[in-house]
Amino acid sequence: MLELTDICKAFDKNTINEKVALDHVSLSLESGDFVTLVGSNGAGKSTLLNAVAGMFLLDYGRIMLDGSDITHLSEHQRAAYIGRVFQDPLTGTAPQMTVEENLVMAWKRGQRRRLRKAICLQERSFFREQLATLGLGLEERLTTKVGLLSGGQRQALTLLMATLRKPQLLLLDEHIASLDPHTADLVMDLTCRIVKEQQLTAVMVTHNLEQALAAGTRTVMMHEGRVVLDIRGAERKCMNVLDLMQLFEENSGTTLNSDRVLLAQ
């Protein structure tokens, strides 16, 4: 499904600030895998997702998606196959445009955009139906500018936009981290439901270890640009947060340096 082979990425190359963010990472996802990706701050989790999404080109390595080599495709070309939700709720939507306009732009992801009226009655009722599934009352606010919505509403909308047209791969980068606890739970539930219903292949970055084990089908841990842990199936089922931390220490030689990781309950 997704096949990362030996990918490397350094920032500020050949300067004193050179920072190796991805250090020969190889990872292979099966179709239907829902990976929760954890690791200390600066481990390279976001960089890994951004590399897959094509926000920059790799220094080394190869990325295959569904059998085709996407290593050299640009970000907008890969968008045809990849749905994304970002950490910042402001990133995924256009604030000056309405809810329905945002949705129709997402509905056209990977399609040819034409000189045709974008929103007709048919789209509108489809969007209303889809928004109703979020349970946030957004179906009544199709013509509201997105900038007027709350962070949680925007994030739920971004999630819907990313999955409106089924993506081959869904990338979620700490997409609930900046929401208040109640809204975070709501968006998390939505995420699990959508991934299950559409049988998506997904990677979700989280700093909450409990959540990393509770959600998804597989947990990958990164440290200093490398994958240090990859667990799934029965092994993962009978694991708790403490086991996970212990395993991390054994495999990485350090303790988890992120206080957020421990305290996030």
Partner 1 sequence: MLYALAGTLEQGLLFALMVLGVYLTFRVLDYADLTVDGSFTTGGAIAASIIFAGGSPWLATAAAVVGGLFAGMFTGLLHTVFKITPLLSGILTMTALYSVNLRILGRANVPLLRADTVITKFNSWLPLDSIYGATLLGLLIVVLVVAGLYLFLKTEVGLALQATGDNEQMIRAQGVNTNHMKLLGLAISNGLVAFSGALVAQNQQFADAGMGIGMIVAGLASVIIGEAIFGRRTILQQIIAVVCGSVIYRAVLALVLRLGLAPTDFKLLTALIVVAALASPQVRNWLGKGRTAERSGLDA
Report DSSP state, residue 98. B
**Residue 43 or residue 220: which is nearer to ligand ADP going by CB?**
43
Out of ligand ADP, partner 1, Mg ion, none, what residue 77 binds, judged by CB under 5 to 8 A for its kind, is: partner 1
Q: Is 194 exposed, middle or buried (0-12, 13-18, 19+ CB in 10 A)?
A: buried
**Residue 1 or residue 20: which is nearer to ligand ADP going by CB?**
20
Least distance CB 211 / partner 1 (angstroms)? 24
Give the number of residues written for the chain: 265
Within 19-38, the residues that bind ligand ADP by CB under 6 A are 19, 21
- 2-11 and 19-29: which strand pairing? antiparallel
Least distance CB 255 / ligand ADP (angstroms)? 16
Is 107 within 8 Å of 164 (Cβ atoms)?
A: yes
Specify the residue for token string 């290593």: 71
Least distance CB 174 / ligand ADP (angstroms)? 8
Is 2 within 8 Å of 202 (Cβ atoms)?
A: no
Q: Could you say which of 12, 15, 17, 117 contacts partner 1 (CB under 8 A)?
A: 117
Within 35-94, the residues that bind ligand ADP by CB under 6 A are 39, 41-47
- Six-digit token string for 44: 């390279």
Would you count residue 254 as binding ligand ADP (CB under 6 A)? Answer: no
Q: Cα(209)–Cα(19) distance, rounded to whole angstroms?
A: 26
Out of ligand ADP, Mg ion, partner 1, none, what residue 43 binds, judged by CB under 5 to 8 A for its kind, is: ligand ADP
Report DSSP state, residue 138. G
Would you count residue 115 as binding partner 1 (CB under 8 A)? Answer: yes
Q: Which residue is nearest to Mg ion (CB)?
A: 46
Question: Measured in whole angstroms, how far is the alpha carbon of residue 53 from the centre of its chain?
Answer: 10
Would you count residue 200 as binding partner 1 (CB under 8 A)? Answer: no
Q: Could you say which of 23, 145, 217, 264 contacts partner 1 (CB under 8 A)?
A: 145
Least distance CB 230 / ligand ADP (angstroms)? 16
Type and span of the H or E element at 172: strand 169-173
**Residue 40 or residue 155: which is nearer to ligand ADP going by CB?**
40
Out of Mg ion, ligand ADP, partner 1, none, what residue 95 binds, judged by CB under 5 to 8 A for its kind, is: partner 1
Out of ligand ADP, partner 1, Mg ion, none, what residue 47 binds, judged by CB under 5 to 8 A for its kind, is: ligand ADP
Q: Cα(193)–Cα(74) distance, rounded to whole angstroms?
A: 30
Amino acid at 146: V
Q: Cα(144)–Cα(136) distance, rounded to whole angstroms?
A: 14
Q: Cα(251)–Cα(239) distance, rounded to whole angstroms?
A: 16
The residues that touch ligand ADP, with contacts defined as CB under 6 A, are: 11-12, 19, 21, 39, 41-47
